[in-house]
Amino acid sequence: MKTFKALSALLSYPSHDLQEAIPVIRAILAEGVVTPAAATALEPLLASLENGDLYDLQERYVLLFDRSRTLSLNLFEHIHGESRDRGGAMVDLLETYRAGGFDLAGPELPDHLPVLLEFLSMRPLAEAREILADAGHILIALAERLARRESVYAAVFEGLVKLSSADPAAEEAQALLAQQDDNPEDLAALDAVWEEAQVTFGPDPNAGCPVSRDILARMEPAPARAAR
């Protein structure tokens, strides 16, 4: 389903390729997998990515998703932290990818949400919704945390919550929502947290990795590439 591919791209580090692909993404979102209301709610994000200054967009992305553990796009961060259980969950997810004919390439961890959405784009819609539902409580927490910050990215997660049919009243979701948000501006506190627990499963997926390039290259019609 191209919709999951489009949502994956929107959650990727902003790049010239992503900016040029916004008209294609907008058209895909209008195809009906997400509701018209959800597509309309995404327009502020689409417009900002399409027309904003790239460096400002990248700074916004890093401040949200790279500096705040409570907004991490690595899903297992929210339920396993750096415990040993996370490694086993990673292996299980990799096996799911391989069984579905999806080879993970690049430095991103298997639980990186744009990677999961790319995989779901290869699966039937019913199966994709079922897999997404397994992460529904995390998506609910991320949607609420971003909404509290009045971030245009909240609409992506609100759309994913609807696709997953996740219940905000579920115990797992409420437990995550009860956690205190990180302050991405408190760099000293964040550095202390990251130093206490380092991800060792694979390469660092952060630091602005442009996952959108591979995703967008597989969209049809292919978006124009930035001149180099």
Q: How is the chain split into domains, by residue range?
A: 2-217
32 Rama class: left (phi>0) / alpha (psi -120 to 50) / beta: left
Q: What is the mean pLDDT of residues 1-27?
A: 96
pLDDT in tens, 169-191: 888 888 888 887 776 655 555 55
Neighbours of 58 (CB within 10 A): 16
| Alpha-carbon gap, residue 53 to 74, rounded angstroms | 26
CB 23 within 8 A of CB 222: no
Nearest CA to 142 out of 66, 73, 44 is that of 73
Q: What confidence score (pLDDT) does residue 172 get?
A: 86
The yes-or-no verdict on residue 209 having pLDDT over 50 is: no
Q: What is the mean pLDDT of residues 57-69?
A: 92
> Where does the pLDDT of residue 114 fall: very low under 50, low under 70, confident under 90, or very high at 90 and above?
very high
Q: In percent, how much of the chain has pLDDT > 90?
A: 53
> Where does the pLDDT of residue 41 fall: very low under 50, low under 70, confident under 90, or very high at 90 and above?
very high
Q: What is the mean pLDDT of residues 102-107?
A: 80
pTM > 0.75: yes
Q: What is the mean pLDDT of residues 20-40?
A: 94
